[in-house]
């Protein structure tokens, strides 16, 4: 260790403060190390925020048999436990699944290990056109074995595989559901698309051993209504029970009601020139047979009784007397 350079701590600090442009950014002296012949590096703690584990490094040197110290370089360097930014990754390699949106476009990957050529050109223009367009081999590259294995494992581990919570709780797998449409190609034995609009997997690729509560063959036991019961109705602090199924009985008629006829319901009679009272032509009076007329005079005004004698009857004399009495009682009215 060069003694002159090892003791030149103040010169090294001044160089570190000049590099940091702030005296408060340079902390205590951490130590020194021999960097070469007549070459020593001094380290000072960095007190800047966000630079945990970083130090100021100042390298000093001197000429042979000279006492003057010269600053070679001064910089900020990280130690083993320093807080560092992640290593730089190109944008094309930094994009992860799910980062792509409608305004982005991924770069072309020529050597993609997941893909294999869809067809091989023969060099014959007509033959290649026939193979590409007539036989439907229009895709230059297709998914290879490695790509199929990768996507199968990713889908099986995803939210629509057999380990999803809905699949564990389901009573039957998607492979037995009527809404399951298998994929084509080699993946048809493991995956398909869900077409049930009531399922949370509608329009998504699901595994054959996935499942949900919208399976076409599942059913649940019918339960009673969970609608909350309403509070009872109180009348004078007493609960009132309502039975909507049984109507209230109609009140019975009181047998002690007066049997008198309501004369207001009978239309007014008009007096004729011969003194007989006759009802209007359009008026119809219905009188219950059980009602007894108390006033004989009002009954005569409604209808004049007609008594016809019965032939060969021993009561002819009494009937004749009744007719005479009736005519006698009617004559004062006519006058």
Domain map (residue ranges) of the chain: 3-78, 160-207
**Residue 43 structure tokens:** 């380290």
Is residue 177 a contact partner of residue 215, using CB atoms and an 8 Å limit?
A: yes
* pLDDT value, residue 114: 84
- What is the pTM for the complete model shown? 0.39
10 Å Cβ neighbour count for 34? 13
Core vs surface per residue 3-27: b (16+ CB within 10 A) or e? eebeebeeebbbbbbebbeeeebbe
Digits of tens for pLDDT over the chain (335 positions)? Answer: 788 888 899 999 999 999 999 999 999 999 999 888 889 999 999 999 889 899 999 999 998 888 899 999 999 999 988 888 888 888 777 877 777 777 777 777 788 888 877 767 677 777 776 666 555 566 777 788 888 899 999 999 999 998 888 889 888 899 999 999 999 878 889 999 999 998 889 999 999 999 998 888 877 666 676 777 777 666 666 555 555 555 566 666 555 545 544 545 445 544 444 445 444 444 444 444 444 444 444 444 444 555 455 445 444 545 455 454 555 555 554 44
């Amino acid at each position: 260790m060069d003694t002159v350079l090892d003791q030149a701590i103040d010169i090294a600090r001044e160089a570190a403060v000049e590099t940091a442009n702030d005296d408060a950014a340079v902390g205590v002296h951490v130590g020194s190390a021999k960097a070469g012949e007549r070459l020593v590096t001094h380290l000072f703690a960095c007190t800047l925020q966000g630079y945990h584990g970083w130090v100021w490094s100042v390298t000093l040197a001197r000429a042979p048999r000279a006492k003057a110290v010269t600053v070679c370089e001064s910089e900020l360097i990280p130690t083993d436990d320093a807080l560092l930014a992640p290593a730089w990754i190109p944008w094309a390699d930094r994009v992860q699944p799910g980062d792509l949106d409608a305004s982005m476009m991924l770069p072309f990957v020529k050597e993609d290990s997941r893909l294999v050529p869809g067809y091989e050109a023969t060099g014959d223009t007509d033959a290649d056109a026939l193979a590409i367009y007539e036989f439907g081999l229009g895709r230059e590259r297709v998914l290879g074995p490695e790509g199929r294995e990768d996507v199968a494992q990713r889908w099986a581990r995803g939210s629509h595989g057999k380990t999803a919570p809905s699949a564990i709780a389901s009573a039957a797998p998607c492979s037995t559901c009527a809404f399951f449409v298998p994929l084509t190609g080699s993946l048809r034995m493991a995956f398909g698309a869900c077409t049930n609009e009531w399922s949370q997997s509608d329009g998504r690729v699901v595994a054959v051993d996935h499942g949900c509560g919208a399976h076409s063959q599942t059913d649940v036991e019918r339960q009673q209504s969970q609608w909350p019961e309403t509070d009872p109705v109180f009348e004078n602090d007493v609960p009132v029970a309502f039975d909507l199924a049984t109507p209230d009985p109609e009140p019975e008629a009181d047998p002690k009601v007066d049997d008198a006829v309501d004369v207001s319901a009978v239309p007014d009679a008009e007096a004729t020139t011969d003194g007989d009272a006759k009802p209007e032509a359009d008026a119809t009076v219905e009188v219950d047979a059980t009602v007894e007329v108390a006033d004989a005079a009002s009954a005569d005004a409604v209808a004049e009784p007609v008594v016809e004698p019965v032939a060969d009857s021993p009561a002819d004399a009494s009937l004749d007397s009744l007719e005479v009495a009736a005519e006698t009682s009617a004559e004062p009215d006519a006058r």
